[in-house]
Structure 1
Amino acid sequence: MEEYKVRKRKIKICAIVMTIMMISISIVACGTSNTITESVVIETESENETTTTKTQDTTTSDFTYTSEDIDVGYDEASATKIVLDGDSIRVDGDGATAKDNIVTISKGGTYVLSGTLSDGQIIVSADKQDTIRIVLNGVEMNCSTSSAIYCEQSKKVILILAEGTINTISDATTYVYESTDETEPDAAIFSKDDLILTGTGTLNLTANYNNGIQSKDNLLLASGTYNVTAINNGLHGKDSLTILDGTYTIDAKHNAIHSKGNLTIDEGTYSLKAVKKGLHADQLVTVNGGSIDVSECFEGMEGVSITINGGDINIVASDDGLNVANQDETDTTTTEITQEQRPQAGNQLAQAEGEMPQVNGEMPQGDSQIPRGGGGQMGDGMDVVDEDCIITINGGKITIDASGDGIDSNGHVYMTGGEVYVNGPTSNGDGALDYNGDFIISGGTLVAIGSSGMAQTISDASTQNGLEVIYTQSQKAGSIVSLLDSDEKEIISYTSVKDYSSIVISTSALKAGETYTLTYNGTALGQITLSDISTVVDETGAQATVNTMRGGGPRERGGQMPQGQGDMPQDMQPPNQTQSGETTTTN
């Protein structure tokens, strides 16, 4: 039996001299991996000064699980059988009893559930050292007064979705507690201890009261197919939430995936819709792989720190795409649904699809009145740099369509690899890139397109060259931006999905001192010579200004003035194709 640990993570960031070192430990288990980043050292040097950021230590409790915990197999012959039969229950074996349509599991062991229960509940109330395995072998059940599955006490509960089965579970719209002081359970599947879900079957879950699947300890999902609709959070972990693999379709009225501690995603396929956040952690978010599609949300991915090592991530957000901020700087909207917010029995959902859940009984009127995370606190004419807040991109492909900031860090952004494509805001109050400290890039491909009013580009401390073009007039959605080298070889080509007036490009193909031609739908606009790590020009190649820090004032940077390139064509029409963020690159 192998043992694996989701461990506390220490991130150490120092900016001193021209290297980037990433140290990672990877543990492979049952065809999946948990990548544990022990430290990250970013060393950079500008021409005139050395900058050192403070060390960040973020600690959460350790979570240990074994290969047996996530094994989908079980011994059916020795297991206790629990057969649900409409309005009655039959128990065959030890460790469980049935009374008044409530099954109580009181001993460690394996329990196989099958059949239909129109109104009832499964309760786990065992010794604190007991491990309970519950196999859902084609179960359809509802509880009209509480959670359908309530794990009150054990060491841990393992739910196994039996191969080839479809399991359907729903809870009450109004919970009945023994006293007015009680608030738990409050999820369709609720556990006070560690909760692990595995298997190859399907779970269809409707959470009518609050959260879908919730653990007051660690929540781990190893495999399976999950279709979750929840009035609050779809998946909710307290100490940690770890997903090794599986397929997830989640529609949540608050956050689709929410952790009060760390959130780690190794692999899996995700189709997420949320009124608030697609993926949120109060501490660290780590994505090592998988295919993540957040098609509706206020903010796509949020935590104190975000590390992306791999995966294919697509985010459409009405506010920020990626956002890192400490909790006292983010919105204070509660993640618990009050009784007034919950629909009453027999009524339709209190909020219509896409509307914000009520807060303290009042409905926010539009995004402008919703407290927003990111952007930091203003003081002395510039944003405060929060050294705890770090976005690290080491790999993967990230595509963002954000009406607010595309990438928003109250601290720093470090990019060492991967591909990042940001379709940023059209309003001048937000930017495709928004950071309070540094954006240091040493590898990968970055394209960030959006408005110019609050535009930022990469930091001078970067070791990979970058270019920002500030257009003298707004460009049309669907237009193709291309950059050609001196041999007319295409370095990058990008099709915008919105109107835009700035674009940031960084790729290993960009070389200092080289001259490039910027084109619009195939027509040359100007020639641009990269004069520094971070060159800022307008579309003709003339120097332009850019905000290096919000409130810090602009600086002038530039390339060489083109000779005889002329002005931007006034009657140019965008092409017919409007493929979302279509990009070609040459490295």
Structure 2
Amino acid sequence: TDDGIHSDVSVTVNGGNTTVSAISATQGVGEGVEAPTITFTGGVTNITASNDGINATYGTVSGGTESNDGSNLFITGGIVIVAGSDAIDSNGNITISGGTTIVTGPTQQPEEGIDFNGNFLMNGGTLISGGSNSNMTKAMNTTSTQVGMYLKSGSQLAATSMLHIENAAGTEMVTFKPKNAVYYFHFSSPGLATNTSYKVYFGGSYTGGSFVGGATAWGLYTSGTYYTTGATLKKTFTSVAGTVNTQSF
């Protein structure tokens, strides 16, 4: 197999510290974790792959199609850090209800940060993902129970830079540095609310606090101080009454 972890039935990670590296010089080869059903309930899992980082599939759907094969990715807890092309790919469904999921996809389309053929439900936990400007990329489903954002930028966020989102009071919602230069973002956390004003910045700097992520300091920064010096305010908007906010800038 060309996969770091593979099962024809299911893969479940319940705890511990797991590092998966599936790197190949051959194009289209190197899946991090692949199975029809993949579940993360706890622990810290760090996945780096040259192809799909997480691939939920029965292997019956051709690449580039949108057919739902009934496969599933479930994230209910733990920390999942994944970089790949696609970083997360489900030929079926994605349901996130807990934990912290940190994702960087590729710079160039058609591969994506998060690619799914069925339903993508964001029902809990924290998700931050950056990926390419692929026209196949979609927002999470509006039937999600937790407020989320799908942000589409016409210009790259450099790998050396940061995405920062805060509310009108200046409270940090997320600060994220991608592994690769990226355009489109999925973000959701329990702290987001409906009918609330938010500001989206590219750039700036960060000191103190905590960091969770991969090598080269890409990942999620929390509980520190964000400085807008050198940053660009990309968008100010008020979240909708529903759970999915799609914004372009």
The TM-score range, normalised by the shorter chain, is 0.7 to 0.9
Q: Map of 1:130-141 to 2, 5 A cutoff?
A: none
Alignment check: 8 A CA contact 1:284 1:306 kept: yes
Shift of 1:445: 0.4
Alignment check: 8 A CA contact 2:157 2:202 kept: no
CA distance in 2, matches of 1:286, 1:415: 14
Aligned residue-pair number: 214
Shift of 1:491: 1.0
Q: Map of 1:8-47 to 2, 5 A cutoff?
A: none
Shift of 1:375: 4.3
Question: Which structure has the larger Rg over C-alpha atoms?
Answer: 1
Q: Which amino acid aligns with 1:483?
A: I
**2:22 counterpart residue number:** 296
Q: Map of 1:495-574 to 2, 5 A cutoff?
A: 495-521=177-203, 522=228, 523=231, 524-531=233-240, 532-539=242-249
Alignment check: 8 A CA contact 2:148 2:189 kept: yes
Is 1:386 aligned with 2:69?
yes
CA distance in 1, matches of 2:13, 2:157: 34
**1:321 counterpart residue number:** 53
CA distance in 1, matches of 2:183, 2:31: 23
**2:209 counterpart residue number:** none
**1:312 counterpart residue number:** 44
- SS for the counterpart of 1:395 is coil
CA distance in 1, matches of 2:202, 2:156: 12
Shift of 1:296: 3.3
Gaps of 5+ in 2: 24-29, 204-227
- SS for the counterpart of 2:160 is coil
Structure 1's 327 and 518: CA in aligned 2 closer, same or farther, altered over 3 A? closer
CA distance in 1, matches of 2:132, 2:114: 10
Shift of 1:320: 0.4
Shift of 1:452: 1.5
- SS for the counterpart of 2:98 is coil
1:143-178: per-residue Cα shift (whole Å, max 9, x none)? Answer: xxxxxxxxxxxxxxxxxxxxxxxxxxxxxxxxxxxx
Q: Which runs of 4+ in 1 moved over 4 A?
A: none
1:403-434: per-residue Cα shift (whole Å, max 9, x none)? Answer: x1111111111111001011101121111111
Alignment check: 8 A CA contact 2:37 2:57 kept: yes
CA distance in 2, matches of 1:315, 1:501: 21
- TM-score w.r.t. the length of structure 1 is 0.36
Structure 1's 328 and 484: CA in aligned 2 closer, same or farther, altered over 3 A? closer
CA distance in 1, matches of 2:160, 2:21: 20
Shift of 1:525: 2.3
1:5-53: per-residue Cα shift (whole Å, max 9, x none)? Answer: xxxxxxxxxxxxxxxxxxxxxxxxxxxxxxxxxxxxxxxxxxxxxxxxx
Is 1:282 aligned with 2:14?
no
Q: Map of 1:22-171 to 2, 5 A cutoff?
A: none
- TM-score w.r.t. the length of structure 2 is 0.82
Which residue, 103, 108, 115 being the options, matches 1:422?
103
CA distance in 1, matches of 2:60, 2:168: 50
Alignment check: 8 A CA contact 1:282 1:327 kept: no
Is 1:493 aligned with 2:175?
yes
Q: Which amino acid aligns with 1:529?
A: T
Gaps of 5+ in 1: 1-253, 255-275, 330-373, 540-587
Is 1:405 aligned with 2:114?
no
CA distance in 2, matches of 1:431, 1:444: 21
Q: Which amino acid aligns with 1:500?
A: V
Structure (1 or 2) with the greater strand fraction: 2
